[in-house]
Amino acid sequence: MKKEIAFCITCMNRLSHIQQTLVQNMENNFLPDKVEFILLDYNSSDGLEEWAKTLQNYIDIGILHYYRTNVPAHYHRSHSRNMAFRLSDAEIVCNLDADNFLGKGFSEYILQQFIEAKEKMFMTSNFSSMNIFGRFCACRSDFMHIRGYNELLSGYGTEDSDLFNRLIKIGLRQNVFYNNSFCKAIEHSHKERISQEFYYQSLSALYIYYDMPFRIGFLLLHKDFTFETGYLINHTLCHYNEQKQFASFLEMDFDISSRITVENTIQKGKWSKTDDKIQLMINHNPSIFSLSDVKIQINNCDFYKVSHDEVISIFILHLSNAVNYAEAKNVIDNQLTVNPTGFGQGTVYKNFDYTTPIILY
């Protein structure tokens, strides 16, 4: 039976979060024949599938649908969400992060908002918390019309703002929910936010050069013996004394004055290791140093090795956000088509049945 609203959850190795939220969310939002929960296991290795099997009673009554894909090596926010949204044919689809609590009656509230709406719209939080920024609801037909989340935005950040911006551009109005009981989430570290994503998983070493308060250089050595280097600019500090007025949070979020961005482009190359010595070439200048060195010199600049997990996580979060922002701005400025060859593609299996693959073309 086609449901009225689907809550779409993607999860990769966040078992401890989903164990705390999923059952409570289903119990607090059970509307027979109207609500369903789509849980996409994005190739988790922490026992998510075995735990999901204990929820068979929810599967049997049709409120929960468990899907698993065995392919992804890293968590991809945009792709995973696109898959989950495509796996439901409900009239309204809602992204629900694994660490979010919906609150009692959220589904009924959202359905009523769409019934009473006098114009086409989508729903978001009021962006008061980083933890619920990704919560949004829209008609599935509108989501499909704009071709989902932009899959060029593979890491953390901007994928939500980019999606909301494109919905507004096709004539939808943004409605906001403010009820605090709908805005609760599990507090967690920045490391947990990005630990399953490419930048964190692939990192071998991170070095930072403090150039100015608003400009830092970076060198990332990846485990596959490639490197990335460049500069991040904190425009919030550059424009600290400016008094800009914005019509909405989304307008502010896409304004460069409130952003950390990549300066020019990120330079990429390869590094090698012989015994304890690292060798790489940047701007035709060779650099040789030891992996154990706390301070290294690159083109006459002092780079310091970062070892603290949370500091590494915060840097990666900002870098990923800056890279995604550049991609999103390129699409906007050049009026490019998002996901021109398709989105949410891949193979999944439903409710532990591995004899019948579901192929999303």
Interatomic CA distance for residues 273 and 225, integer angstroms: 9
Task: Write out the two tokens for 240.
Answer: 């600290």
The per-residue pLDDT for range 125-163, each reduced to its tens digit, is 988 888 899 999 999 999 999 999 999 998 899 999 999
81 neighbors 95 (Cβ within 8 angstroms): yes
Q: Which residues pair with 210 in a beta bridge?
A: 216
Please return the burial class of 333, using the count of CB atoms within 10 Å of its CB with bins 0-12, 13-18 and 19+.
exposed
Q: For 97, what's the count of Cα atoms within 13 Å in the CB-facing half-sphere?
A: 22
- Give which of 187, 199, 122, 121 is closest to 157, Cα–Cα: 199
Tens-of-pLDDT digits for all 361 residues of the chain? 899 999 999 999 999 999 999 999 999 999 989 999 999 999 999 999 999 999 999 999 999 999 999 999 999 999 999 999 999 999 999 999 999 999 999 999 999 999 999 999 999 998 888 889 999 999 999 999 999 999 999 889 999 999 999 999 999 999 999 999 999 999 989 999 999 999 999 999 999 999 999 999 999 999 999 999 999 999 988 877 777 888 888 888 888 999 999 999 999 999 999 988 999 999 889 999 998 999 999 988 999 999 999 999 999 999 999 999 999 999 999 999 999 999 999 999 999 999 999 999 9
Other beta carbons within 10 Å of 221: 21
Q: Which two tokens stand for residue 131?
A: 């933890």
- Residue range 16-62, pLDDT digits in tens: 999 999 999 999 999 989 999 999 999 999 999 999 999 999 999 99
Question: Are 136 and 160 spatial neighbours (Cβ–Cβ below 8 Å)?
Answer: yes
> pTM above the 0.85 mark?
yes
What is the Cα 299 distance to its own chain's centre?
34
Domains and CATH numbers, the chain: 5-187+343-360 (3.90.550.10), 191-333 (no CATH)
